[in-house]
Structure 1
Amino acid sequence: MLNELSHGQRERLCYIDFCLQYYGDIARSDLIQRFQMGLASSSRDFATYKEIAPDNLILKHETKRYHRTQKFKPLFAHSSDKALAEFAENNNFGNSLNSDQVVSSVSLINAQPEIIAAITRAMCSSSALKMKYASLSSGVSEREIVPHAFLNTGHRWHVRAFDRKSQEFRDFVCTRIIKTSEAKQNPKENELQTQDLEWQSQVTLQLVPHPNHKFPKAIELDYQMQNQQLELTLRVAEAKYLLRFWNVDVTAEHSNSPDLHHLWLKNTEELRHNNRLAQALSLALPTEQAVNQQRSTS
């Protein structure tokens, strides 16, 4: 029945469902305030919701609010991460929680809107972009790029692009782009997203609690592991940042400190057999080990 409803009504029913799941109750006035609608329309929405999920809510006349029942089963999938983000950002879903009850981490890195807008326009029009970029390794320089995707590393946003200076696909930190302008030369075939091997290729990571940690169960719960393992298949371009962001121990012998590295990459040895992949994920063996391995296979 949900598929037969208009987009607007599904959105309102989703709001009712969300409030019941996370707040435990909702009134018609909440729906009216949220969507700037009339009393009759809000009553119809509650009637529709009750028709679809009669066991989810009950009206208590003394409070004039609909309350969640013990038999409640959500009609919509509500991400807990998105819910917490909504609570932290101006409480967009309602007023049941205040700023003293939901505190998010302070963001220290925020890209300029005009820079993001310029990159987005270039991606949408499949065009190249000139930019002045500040690098930690080489300082400020002029570059021409062909951007094709945004990538959030966990700490900040990067733009994935073909770099005409180095003649390879690279990630550029959005906050380090000082200014942009249109490039005259249109993208060539080798500069397009379809030619970005790290973007087009996928890799499977097998993450487990660090074998040397005393309390692996806590780690299993943190990452919602199944059978003491979390298996992820994702782009190579994304995987390298995931390993870094979550401080995963990628040594084959899990030799790093379990207090600093809660996760271990179980299939490190397997991934190292692919030299290109090992280099992209920073899994390459130390020089001495690499030499010994080369001698043993020659």
Structure 2
Amino acid sequence: MTTTKELDPVLAERYRFIDFLLLFKGQLTRAELVERFKIGEATASRAIASFLEKYPEEVEFLGPRYGYRANPFYQHKYEHDALTGLQYTAYGTLTQILDIQRYGIEFYKFANQLDVANVAPICRAVVNSASVHIRYVSTTSGIKDRVVSPHSIFEAGGLWYFRAYDKSAYEFRTFKLSRVIKVFQLHHDSLEEHSKARDDGWNRQRTIELMAHPRNPIPDAQLSDLGIKDGEYRSVQVSEALIGFALTDMRVDCSIGHKLSFQEYPLALKNRAELLTVESMSFAPGFASKADNKSRL
């Protein structure tokens, strides 16, 4: 990996961000440097030109409108954190940790440390509407090679997922990033029918109706959380593909007759019957239907 000791600290920081964009997005524009560092366009252009002079074979110029694209075998020059790459790709946020006195605590997370070598190609596939060949382990199929076309990334319950068209199953599915064992190759051949616009489960919005758990004798706190009065419920619009994740995150009892503990699940789902056919409900707390509820995660 490149060391920044011999570089001017300001230029080194810009180099690192350029490398970050090429690794996780597979592309960069001058505007991103302008926005990130609050610099002028000329200064951003000089930083990019300097980087390209140092690594001339790594990047292709696509023109003023489209910026620069990393070559298919781009090797990053600096160490980067997979989580930071996911946050930037999914939500456009960058996390900066300052060396100051802290008053919080690092809460224990069971999640496996994600490998940049697996995360970065999937992020690039999302950004560039490409497909990617992966080796993936699931609870139903074990270890299996797949070619998928990812279109979105999201976080739920402290874990990261991506939504993609699975070419071997001929349908859109949700995949857990920690279960990607290896990424083999990126293919710039994704079809329109494999895009987010064609993912009905992702685009279809459904309503979930939340209420305080009916078995809770003192529901005042939950009513306050929902911003409602006793006897009322709160309606929330959620992507159909994400309903199970949302209900799990909010600890909503989705069982028939709301039989789960109100102390563990302080909220309850009011309109369960309307969501019986939603695939992601299969792993909502307490949910069970007559259909095959096997999770594909």
Residues 111 and 206 (structure 1 numbering): CA distance in 2 closer, same or farther, change over 3 Å? Answer: same
Separation (CA, whole Å) in 2 of partners of 1:216 and 1:164: 47
2:272 equivalent to 1:268: yes
**2:105 alignment partner in structure 1:** 103
2:228 equivalent to 1:191: no
CA contact (8 A) 2:137 2:181 kept: yes
Separation (CA, whole Å) in 1 of partners of 2:252 and 2:142: 30
**1:244 alignment partner in structure 2:** 248
1:177-197 deviations in Å (ceiling 9; x for gaps): 122132547122321111111
2:206 equivalent to 1:203: yes
- 1:79-94, aligned counterparts within 5 Å? 90=97, 92=98
Separation (CA, whole Å) in 2 of partners of 1:145 and 1:269: 32
2:177 equivalent to 1:174: yes
Aligned residue among 224, 240, 259 for 1:255: 259
Q: One-letter code of the match for 1:107? A: K
Calculate the aligned-residue CA RMSD, in Å: 2.7
Deviates more, 1:200-209 or 1:263-272: 263-272
2:146 equivalent to 1:114: no
Q: One-letter code of the match for 1:118? A: P
Q: CA deviation at 1:145?
A: 0.3
CA contact (8 A) 2:117 2:183 kept: no
Q: One-letter code of the match for 2:174? A: D
**1:281 alignment partner in structure 2:** 281
CA contact (8 A) 1:144 1:183 kept: no
Separation (CA, whole Å) in 1 of partners of 2:290 and 2:125: 41
Separation (CA, whole Å) in 2 of partners of 1:238 and 1:225: 23
Separation (CA, whole Å) in 2 of partners of 1:103 and 1:158: 25
1:144-166 deviations in Å (ceiling 9; x for gaps): 00000002122300011001111
Judging by fraction of residues, say which structure has more helix: 1
**2:72 alignment partner in structure 1:** none
CA contact (8 A) 1:249 1:263 kept: yes
Aligned residue among 211, 225, 228 for 1:226: 228
Q: Which runs of 5+ in 2 are unaligned?
A: 1-36, 38-94, 292-297
**1:153 alignment partner in structure 2:** 156
CA contact (8 A) 1:162 1:168 kept: yes
Residue aligned with 1:281, SS: helix
Separation (CA, whole Å) in 2 of partners of 1:207 and 1:233: 11
CA contact (8 A) 1:153 1:238 kept: no
Separation (CA, whole Å) in 1 of partners of 2:289 and 2:134: 36
1:175-222 deviations in Å (ceiling 9; x for gaps): 11122132547122321111111111011111111011122112234x
Separation (CA, whole Å) in 1 of partners of 2:289 and 2:143: 32
Q: One-letter code of the match for 1:103? A: I
Residues 207 and 247 (structure 1 numbering): CA distance in 2 closer, same or farther, change over 3 Å? Answer: same
Q: Which runs of 5+ in 1 are unaligned?
A: 1-34, 36-85, 289-298
Deviates more, 1:212-221 or 1:147-156: 212-221
- After the TM superposition, list the runs of 4 or more consecutive aligned residues in structure 1 that deviate by more than 6 angstroms: none
CA contact (8 A) 1:151 1:238 kept: no
Separation (CA, whole Å) in 1 of partners of 2:250 and 2:175: 20
TM-score, scaled relative to structure 1: 0.57
Separation (CA, whole Å) in 2 of partners of 1:246 and 1:184: 37
Residue aligned with 2:183, SS: strand
Q: CA deviation at 1:171?
A: 1.1
TM-score, scaled relative to structure 2: 0.57
